[in-house]
Amino acid sequence: MTSDDELRRIYSQARTIAVVGASGDPAKPAHSIPRYLQTQGYRIVPVTPRGGELLGERAYASLTDVDVPVDVVNVFRPADEVPDIAHDAAELGAKVLWTQTGIESDAAAEIAHAAGMTVVMGVCMGRTHERLGLGPGP
C-alpha cells in the first residue's frame, strides 16, 4: 500500500496524466475523474481506441502512440489488460502506474516496479486527491 506521503509526492510532481480507457460519456468515471483532475491543473492525455479529441485534448488510439512526456499512466481498463499497459507505460518513460478502483494486477505491478515506476493499484485517483485534502473532489 502506498503511503499518504508518497501519494502527495505523486500529485505534487505530476503534470501530465495519460488516462488509458478515457471515455467521452460524462456519466462514466473514466470521463468524470480525468475531467476533475484537469480542473485541478493536470494535463490529461486521453487514450481511447476512437482517437480524435476528448476533454479538449488530442486523444491517442493507444499508449504507444502518445508522443508527449507523461508522468502518470492512470488505467480504466480491465485487470487482464494492465500488464500490457504497464509495458507500454515503461516504454513511454512514465514514473507512475495508477489503476482505478477494482483494477489490480500483480503481473503489471512487477513489470512497473522492474521499470522503476511507482505503483498505485485499485484506488481512485480523483477520490484520493480529495481524501488527501488536495482539492474538492470529483
Alpha-helical (H) ranges within the chain are 4-13, 29-39, 82-92, 106-114, 125-131
Question: Percent of the chain scored above 70 by pLDDT?
Answer: 100
Residue 125 pLDDT class (50, 70, 90 cuts)? very high
Beta bridge partners of 96: 72, 118
- pLDDT of 57 > 90? The answer is yes
- What is the largest distance, in Å, between two alpha-carbon atoms of the chain? 36
Closest alpha carbon to 97 in 57, 61, 135, 107: 107
Mean pLDDT (the chain) is: 96
Residue 37 pLDDT class (50, 70, 90 cuts)? very high
- pLDDT of 20 > 80? The answer is yes
- CATH superfamily placement of domain 4-131: NAD(P)-binding Rossmann-like Domain (3.40.50.720)
pLDDT value for 77: 97
Helix (H, G, I), strand (E, B) or coil at 2: coil
Phi/psi for 90 (5° steps) reads -65, -45
pTM of the model: 0.97
Beta bridge partners of 46: 19
pLDDT tens sequence across 65-119: 999 999 999 999 999 999 999 999 999 999 999 999 999 999 999 999 999 999 9
What's the CA angle centered on 92, arms 111 and 94, to 5 degrees?
A: 70
pLDDT value for 87: 98
Cα–Cα distances in angstroms (integers) from residue 8 to residues 5, 53, 84, 100, 130, in the given order: 5, 30, 27, 17, 11
Domain ranges of the chain: 4-131
pLDDT value for 75: 98
pLDDT value for 7: 97
Spatial distance between the Cα atoms of 128 and 105, rounded to a whole number of angstroms: 19
Spatial distance between the Cα atoms of 74 and 92, rounded to a whole number of angstroms: 13
Q: Are 120 and 94 in contact (CB under 8 A)?
A: no
Question: Percent of the chain scored above 90 by pLDDT?
Answer: 96
pLDDT value for 1: 76
